[in-house]
Amino acid sequence: MASRLRIFNVNQIINYVIHKGRPKCPVFLQPRWRSTLNAAVPPKTQSNRKLLIGAAFGAVGIGFGLYNYFLPSESKQKHTAGVALTEKVDFTRNDNIVDIKPSREISGPANNIGLDLTLYQYQTCPFCCKVRAFLEFYGIPYKIIEVNPVMRQQLKFSKYKKVPILIAEDKEASKKHQLNDSSVIISILGTFLQDVPFGLDSVLKYYVPVAYINEEGKEVEEIMNKYFLMFGDKYKESADTYLKKERQWRKWADSVFVHVLSPNIYRTYDEALQAFNYFSEVGEWEKNFSAIERLIVIYVGATAMYFVGRRLKKKHALKDDVRESLYDTCKQWMKEIGSQKKFMGGDMPNLADLAVYGMLSSIEGCLAFQDLLKNTNIGPWYYNVKEAVVNHHGYQKLKL
């Protein structure tokens, strides 16, 4: 399954090279929060791009400069104290989406849910892998638009500039909804699949983003119940503990688990290079970049990420040997499942299983993954989830 990876921080590297480097992936790098409430960043010109590629060569020699570049500039974009809550009506509707030829189409048995889905993604982004695991598990057909991480022209229609983005076209209502953020996408679709006739419009009303100024004085926008499935009157109190645990571990995947991946795949310079060559292969960079761009991204990327990986190790207080932290985190996950159950969800993977599996699948081709299989007992669980995903076991659960 060589197809799973282009990765997280590749985007920062590429953006450093091409766009004078704004940190882009909050998972692996501390972000400078870019408000989704404000206008999009203006596109850069081709000549800028070439100049910057030239400049990037210099960056190879000054790896530390690059490393420093990724350091957050917390002082920027501060607001005065105070909290502003806003609610938006029809907030997901986007009529600016341009029809682009999909990179590929994924088929599945759940083809009668009344939605036409298009996933904007990077093949090896762990958040995108997570959404794909969910869709595949339920056998939901969808189209993929592979975003070019250099130019990102496919995201021009959107103010939100991260992936994954899912465009859900409600065929009956002829409306296109833009769903941002992997966990939000999964919760919305998860709720929708409980009761398809209820309609997507009705489900969206439960996931209203609020904009507010956080304690650091920054403007942020959030969907407060992003880990919740909204069951309405189908809610059974007996399921309370189970659901709470599912939510908790989905959140753990986003806020803990994902952070051990990056320092592990960039642990040494050789590993970083191996990872980047792997991303290049599975992300088909030969198609997306010129030969020189590809080499820059691989070598600048590997160099930079080696240093970034060290910084992230510190930031997330990982052990001196980061493999140990990877093993510990996975052991913690396996301990939570226990020896009696096949999955956290019991006989079937639940959303937490899918989240952890999806993210882990993003490093399947890296040395760190091989080491993980050798040093922990996560392998059987991982391949069981994979089997359930690939064979759309979730489809049986749907009442369509």
Ligand X SMILES: N[C@@H](CCC(=O)N[C@@H](CS)C(=O)NCC(=O)O)C(=O)O
List of residues contacting ligand X (CB under 6 A): 8, 11, 24-27, 122, 125, 127, 149, 152, 161-164, 181-183
179 phi and psi angles, rounded to 5 deg: -105, 125
Contact predicate 251/227, CB 8 Å: yes
Task: Give me the catalytic one of 28, 69, 70, 125.
Answer: 125
Work out the number of other CB atoms within 10 angstroms of the CB of residue 209. Answer: 21
Closest approach of Cβ 280 to ligand X, in Å? 16
DSSP secondary structure of 186-238: HHHHHHHHH-GGG-HHHHHTT---EEEE-TTS-EEEE-TTTT----GGG--GG
Cβ distance to ligand X smaller for residue 178 or 183:
183
Query: How far is residue 94 from each of residues 75, 105, 163, 174, 191, measured CA to CA in Å?
Result: 32, 22, 16, 11, 21
Least Å distance, CB 111 to ligand X, is 25
Would you say 24 or 386 has its CB closer to ligand X? Answer: 24
- Report in angstroms how near the CB of residue 149 gets to ligand X at its nearest: 6
The catalytic residue among 8, 122, 134, 142 is 122
Q: Which is nearer to ligand X, 122 or 134 (CB)?
A: 122
- Is omega for the bond preceding 197 within 30 degrees of 0, making it cis? no
Residues 28, 69, 127, 307: which is the catalytic one?
127
In single-letter form, the type of residue at position 113 comes to I
Query: Which residues lie closer than 8 Å to 112 by C-beta, 6 or more apart?
Result: 400
Active site residue 122: yes
State the nearest-atom distance from the C-beta of 257 to ligand X, in Å: 12
Is residue 127 part of the annotated active site? The answer reads yes
According to DSSP, residue 147 is labeled: -
Measured from the CB atom, the residue of 162 and 267 that comes closer to ligand X is 162
Please say which residue, 190 or 393, places its beta carbon nearer to ligand X: 190
The distance of closest approach from Cβ of residue 122 to ligand X in the complex, given in angstroms and rounded to an integer, is 6
Which residue(s) pair with 175 in the sheet?
170
Helices and strands: H and E segment counts in the chain = 15, 7
CB contact set of 39 (below 8 Å; sequence gap of 6+): 159
Q: Is 25 a catalytic residue?
A: no
Give the residue numbers marked as catalytic: 122, 125, 127-128
